Structure formats: C-alpha cells, structure tokens
Amino acid sequence: MQYDVSAGKMAGRDTDALIVPVFEGDKPAGKLEEVDALLGGLLGKVLDSGEFEPKLNKTMLLHTGGERVLLIGGGKRKEHDFDKAQQLAGAAVRALPGICRSAAFVPRGDLAPQAQGQAVSEGAGIALFRPDFYKSDRKDPKLERIELLAGKGDAKAVERGLEDGQALAEAVNFARRLADEPSNLMTPTHLAEAATTIAGGPIAVQVLEREDMERMSMGSLLGVAKGSDEPPKLIVMRYKAPKKSKVTVALVGKGITFDTGGISLKPATHMDEMKTDMSGGAAVIGAMRTLAHFRPDVNVLGIVPATENMPGGHAIKPGDVLRASNGKTIEVLNTDAEGRLVLADGIIYARNHGATHLVDIATLTGAIVTALGKITTGVFGNNQEWTDQLLAAAKRAGEKMWQMPMFQEYADMMKGDISDLKNISGSTEAGSITAAGFLMAFAEDTPWVHLDIAGTARAGKDRGYMAKGATGAGLRTMVELVRGLS
C-alpha cells in the first residue's frame, strides 16, 4: 500500500473514492464545508435529511458521477480517540467498493496530525488483512493508494505518522499470518525460519537447537518437546540500541505451534484453534521486526521457546518431574499446562543474557477468557512501576488491557509437594493468577509483566477492522513500551 499526504488539496485529485468521517450532529462546517462545496451541496443535503446515522463505523456510499464518496460514522466527536480513529479508517477501507484502487481520506476529530496519520495507515493496513490464504479463488483487494488530505502545515507530521502506522500494521499482519498458519505448515522449524527473515541492520537472529538447550539444561522446555517428533527451537532475536544503554527489555513469547494438551489430552471440539498457541511468540517476532524502523534507545531481546505439545510415545506424563535451567524442579501434574513450562526456561535465558526488564506474552489460560472475555488482555506483574509503564503503553497503542491482582499467596499455591513447584495449583480457583504466579517464581527480582492473551489473540468472528482469526494482540503495546523507554 502506498500512502501519500496531499496538503490542503480538496479538489483536483484523481482518486477513485473520497472517505469522509461524520460525527453525530455534524453540519457542513470547517472541513465538511470544503467537502460540501466540492460536492455541490450534496453533503449538506444528506446531513440535513437525517438519512445517514453517523454511528461508529456505519457507512453510506454516494455516487457523484465522478469519484465515489463514502461517508463513515465516527460516533460522538468528544469520544473520538486513537483507537476509534484506527477502527474508523479500517472500517472505511473495508466498505469501499472492490473496484476502487485509490482513496482520499478527510481527517476529522481532534487527534494530533501525527497520530491521525498513524491511525489511518495502521487501521487500514490491519483491516485489509484476510486469513483465507488457502482459498483457490482468493482475490487480493485492489486498493493500492490512500491519500490523506492534511492541513498545509501538518504534512511532515502526518507523513511520519503514516510511516509508523504502516510499519506497525505490516508487523501485526506478519504476526497474524504466522499465527493463522495451520500447524502442519507452522512447525517450530517454520517459525524459526520466519524469525530469521527479520534479521538485518540493528537486529540479529539466532536459532538454538535441541543440543543447545540440553547444554543449558532446559529440562522444562525439553520436557514439553519430548512428546513431539518435530524438533524444538529456541528463537533468540537481539536489537541493539544506537547508543549504549543500561536497559535491556526482554520480550518472551510462548511458541507452542500446536497444543494437543499432551497426555492430558484436550477434547476434540475447537482443538483446531490451538494452532494459534504460538500467538505470543508471533507477537514478539512481529514486535522485533518493527525495531529497525523505530530504533528505540534501549536494547531489546526477543525470545521464543518453540515446540509442539504432543502426546507421543516419549511424552512426559502427569506426575513427571522436570528440572528447569535454573535448577528448580517442577512436578507436571497436567501436561496441558505446558505454556508456563516453556516460558520458565525462556525467562531464565532472558535473565542470564542481560535482561533488566521482562515482558512475557502467552495464550496461557482458558481462565483468563472466563475472567475478561475476548475483549481485554490480562496483565500481571511483580513491580507496579513497570506494570504501570506497560499499561500506559497499551493505552497509547489503543489495545485494551487490564491489571489482575498478584500477591505472594497466589504464587505460594504453586509450591510443590515433592518438588520446588508444581505446574498446576490443583484448585479450580484463580487459574490465570496461579499460572502467572508460577512464572513470577522464575522472574525473581527482575521487574516482570505477564500478558495473558488467551482471549484476545484470536477473534472468533469479524470484529470492526479485525477479520476473524489471529489478531496480533499485544504486539503494538510491546513496541510502544520500548519506544517510550530510554
């Protein structure tokens, strides 16, 4: 997609469509007056008639003889924010007739010019992704150019925003593609290959093999991998800040390319959805991919422990005891609680390789879906300052996240009877928090935040600008977090 800024130019464009956001109660004044003049009073007539109800993301298509005009509802002007601006841009490009190759967008609302630009390219880019890659008659959308009609002095800022939004949308779609890919085509080996494609410039990628993990005594990760014929991979990505920095943020993403549950086998219904159990890992790879564009001032380490969770003949069995790479022992009481097992060795690796701050991201528990549904990501932390920084980043990125409680009592519920830890609490209570408590035992005194995206990583149906399937949840928040640090 090509994005342009055409400063102060309403007439004399050659786009196929004009996208005009309309808020509740709008009259043809300001920007809309210019549009109305261009359309010979048509917009005023439509608004006066009351026939277009400008509810958020509702559209009306007008034929003017020349270019088409798409009105898109923006809801209440005073509720308009970055998230809504993205949704609106996305909904608009999805509603354009298939024949349109180019569109001009009239910016509305009170966002700063750079945020406005970013919202348009990010929202449109994300909206144009469709996961039906294996349909023989799949047709890619024809839209190839969007022009933003910015105010004269705003062009530079809008342009910067457009570039940032495009980098983020491409990364989100890259992560969605990885997560949507079926597990026969997205094994740990495929995931590692995808990660190596982001190497270059300030980013180095290294793929560690089973022998490397054995050398580091990663018994927890290797234990999960035992049931599968596919070799596990530990994907390590490094971004080096331009100037020396004391801060190294480690992003650790769960990379289970398929979760059958192992010997504690899952029921058949919806098991196919477990192909997205590497969504956390995909979000980390996608986030790392944007750093060559954003060049933040801190070092970033991306780690994805990747394996299948299968019930093969060598698989671990309930009651087996594993030893993680820091020497801690874990009794595996349920082989379906495998995410925390692979993350444990990932977190230890991050701490041993200079991480001063940790974020882990995982489709970790069904319990978080019960608690927060599919709208909001659950946030857990051991350090309120670091957690607050993440929550603030989520807000800026327009991703819905909510902090869950974390107290030592929850972590204590994961203490083992015959070992240091057990991988399930043995109680049906507070399943997401006890899972987080298990991870907290490995973060020790390093500031750590855990994102449980089991509910948000996948949309069960088309929702706003996001097509059904993988969503890339958490990626933009992690990027925003490291951009905000120095």
Which residues make up the interface to ligand BES (CB under 6 A)? Answer: 259, 277, 334, 336-339, 363-367, 369, 424, 431, 454
Per CB under 5 A, which region of 58-66, 85-93, 186-194, 269-277 contacts Zn ion? 269-277
Nearer to ligand BES, 132 or 429 (CB): 429
Nearer to ligand BES, 165 or 223 (CB): 223
In this chain, which of 147, 164, 170, 336 binds Zn ion, going by CB under 5 A? 336
Identity at 120, one-letter amino acid code: V
Task: Tell me the residue number closest to ligand BES, measured at CB.
Answer: 366
Find the shortest distance in angstroms from Cβ 281 to ligand BES: 12
Q: How far apart are CA 18 and CA 66, in angstroms?
A: 10
Catalytic residue among 31, 58, 160, 266: 266
Contact 185, 46 (CB under 8 A): no
Find the shortest distance in angstroms from Cβ 470 to ligand BES: 11
Catalytic residue among 226, 238, 340, 422: 340
Edge-to-edge strands of the sheet including 145-148?
A: 2-5, 145-148, 102-105, 17-22, 68-73, 59-63
Q: How far apart are CA 258 and CA 481, in angstroms?
A: 29
| Residue 182 touches which of ligand BES, Zn ion, none (Cβ within 5-8 Å per kind) | none
Q: Which residues contact 447 (CB under 8 A, 6 or more apart)?
A: 356, 357, 358, 381, 382, 383, 385, 386
Cβ-count burial 229-246 (b if 16+ within 10 Å, e if not) = ebebbbbbbbbebeeebe
| Residue 346 touches which of Zn ion, ligand BES, none (Cβ within 5-8 Å per kind) | none
Find the shortest distance in angstroms from Cβ 304 to ligand BES: 15
In this chain, which of 113, 123, 281, 339 binds Zn ion, going by CB under 5 A? 339
Nearer to ligand BES, 194 or 367 (CB): 367
266 noted as active-site residue: yes
Nearer to Zn ion, 184 or 486 (CB): 184
The answer to whether 223 contacts Zn ion (rule: CB under 5 A) is no
108 noted as active-site residue: no
CA 3, distance to chain mean position in Å, is 22
Q: How far apart are CA 229 and CA 310, in angstroms?
A: 9
Q: How far apart are CA 102 and CA 149, in angstroms?
A: 13
Span 277-296, contacts to Zn ion by CB under 5 A: 277
Angle between helices 155-180 and 475-483 (to 10 degrees): 140
Find the shortest distance in angstroms from Cβ 301 to Zn ion: 23
Nearer to Zn ion, 334 or 356 (CB): 334
Find the shortest distance in angstroms from Cβ 256 to Zn ion: 5
Find the shortest distance in angstroms from Cβ 72 to Zn ion: 38
In this chain, which of 67, 147, 230, 259 binds Zn ion, going by CB under 5 A? 259
| Residue 366 touches which of Zn ion, ligand BES, none (Cβ within 5-8 Å per kind) | ligand BES
Nearer to ligand BES, 117 or 437 (CB): 437
Find the shortest distance in angstroms from Cβ 137 to ligand BES: 31
Nearer to ligand BES, 367 or 466 (CB): 367
Q: How far apart are CA 396 and CA 327, in angstroms?
A: 39
Residues of this chain that bind Zn ion (CB under 5 A): 256, 259, 277, 336, 338-339
Catalytic center residues = 266, 340
